[in-house]
A = this chain, B = another copy of it.
Amino acid sequence: MYQILLVEDDPQIREVIEDYFSEKGKHFLQLHLARDGYEGLHQIQQSKFDLVLLDIMMPGLDGFALCREIRQKSMIPIVFLTAKNREEDLLYGYQIGCDDYIVKPFSIAALYAKVEALLKRSNGLMGANLLQVGNIRLMPATYEVTVEGTPVLLPPKEYALLKFFMEHKGQVLSRDMILDCIWGYSYTGTDRVVDNHIKKLRKALGKSGALIKTVITRGYRMEEK
Task: Give chain A's interface residues, CB within 8 Å of chain B.
Answer: 12, 16, 38, 41, 45, 60-61, 65, 68-69, 72, 85, 87-92, 94-95, 99-100, 103, 105-110, 113, 117, 121, 126-127, 129-130, 139, 141-143, 153, 155-156, 171-172, 174, 176-177, 180-181, 184-186, 215-218
Contact B106 A16 (CB under 8 A): no
Shortest CB distance A155–B (Å) = 7
Task: List 6 additional A-B contacts (Cβ < 8 Å) besides A87-B130, A106-B185, A109-B176.
Answer: A41-B91, A88-B127, A91-B139, A109-B174, A109-B180, A155-B216
Question: Which residue of B has the minimal Cβ distance to A170?
Answer: B142
Q: Is the CB of A107 within 8 A of B16?
A: no
Residues of chain B contacted by A108 (CB below 8 angstroms): 180, 185
11 A-B pairs with C-beta separation under 8 A:
A38-B94, A45-B87, A68-B100, A69-B90, A92-B117, A105-B184, A105-B186, A106-B185, A109-B176, A110-B180, A155-B216
Taking a contact as CB atoms closer than 8 A, the residue among B72, B129, B181, B186 that contacts A88 in the complex is B129
Contact A65 B100, beta carbon cutoff 8 Å: yes
Q: For residue A60, which residues in chain B have a CB less than 8 angstroms away from its CB?
A: 94
Q: Tell me the smallest distance from the CB of A33 to a CB of chain B, in Å.
A: 17
